[in-house]
Amino acid sequence: MKLKHVVALFALVLVVALVIAACAPTTAPTQAPAETTKSTQVKEEAQPSPTPVPKKEETKAAPETTEAVAPEEQRLKIVMVQHALCAWDSFWCTVEQGAKDAAKAMNVDLTILGPDKFDLEKTASLIDQAVAANPDGLAVTITDPALFKEPIMRAIEAGIPVVGYNAGSGPEKDGIPYLTYIGMDEYQGGYQSGKRLLTAGATKGVCINHQVGHAGLDARCAGFIDAFK
């Protein structure tokens, strides 16, 4: 499977995870399919005469109960705050497109926020901006756990489900009680990359960190360097 396909799948899973998390606190969205089924059954039971219930209604009822798309009036609002954007980092074009495709398929109102250049302080302020919008779910790239802790805690305290993606080490290691982290172990990614080069015959290696201060990339380069020790 090509890398961009993996990234797109990752973005889709992220949106699905957020939709599930956003639905969890309130039973109405999760109960919607069951209610439509019940209402159909009630109508059929309340009208014993065969004439008001033609076959057209029966064929309509089946697909309605299997649809996972939220009704327009119950459309969930999800915000993704990330440290980079497709506008200036092509890697994120695939991530954003995958998230948009998933949002469209699930009838989710998706907003993607990010700075116009690598700026962790700006990214932290965008988390607060997202919290102020009171979305049903929030996804954040945890590029600086210490800096992002306070704004993420404000989201959690406001009852907004939060997940980390792409950058982070998980709730326990990051010291922030968000729901879960979807991504890789960056240290191991760097370490295994170094080991592969050593296996191929390399004796020296260089790790280029294009976003110094990004906790994930710092950890990746640390793992890479350790592999050569």
Residue of higher predicted confidence among 39 and 159: 159
Domains of the chain, by residue range, sit at 3-25+71-182, 29-66, 186-227
User: Which tens digit of pLDDT belongs to each residue from 169-199?
Assistant: 889 999 999 999 998 889 999 899 999 999 9
For residue 164, the cross-strand partners are 140, 181
122 burial class (0-12, 13-18, 19+ CB within 10 angstroms)?
middle
Tokens of 85: 């954007």
Given a cut of 90, is residue 126 above it in pLDDT?
yes
Q: What is the pTM of this model?
A: 0.64
Q: Tell me, what's the pLDDT at 58?
A: 47
Q: Tell me, what's the pLDDT at 57?
A: 47
Given a cut of 70, is residue 159 above it in pLDDT?
yes
Please give the share of the chain, as a percent, with pLDDT higher than 90: 43
User: Which tens digit of pLDDT belongs to each residue from 103-118?
Assistant: 988 888 999 999 999 9
Q: Tell me, what's the pLDDT at 215?
A: 84
Given a cut of 70, is residue 74 above it in pLDDT?
yes
Q: Tell me, what's the pLDDT at 212?
A: 85
Q: Provide mean pLDDT across the span 202-211.
A: 90
Region of residue 223 (left: phi > 0; alpha: psi -120 to 50; beta: else): alpha
Given a cut of 60, is residue 45 above it in pLDDT?
no
Tokens of 202: 């390399």
Q: Among candidates 152, 159, 158, 215, which has minimal Cα distance to 178?
A: 152
Given a cut of 80, is residue 31 above it in pLDDT?
no
For residue 138, the cross-strand partners are 79, 162
Architecture of 3-25+71-182 per CATH?
3-Layer(aba) Sandwich (3.40)
Question: What Rg do the C-alpha atoms of the chain give, in angstroms?
Answer: 22
Taken in order 42, 46, 48, 49, is the CA torsion positive or negative? Answer: negative
Q: How far apart are CA 204 and CA 81, in angstroms?
A: 37
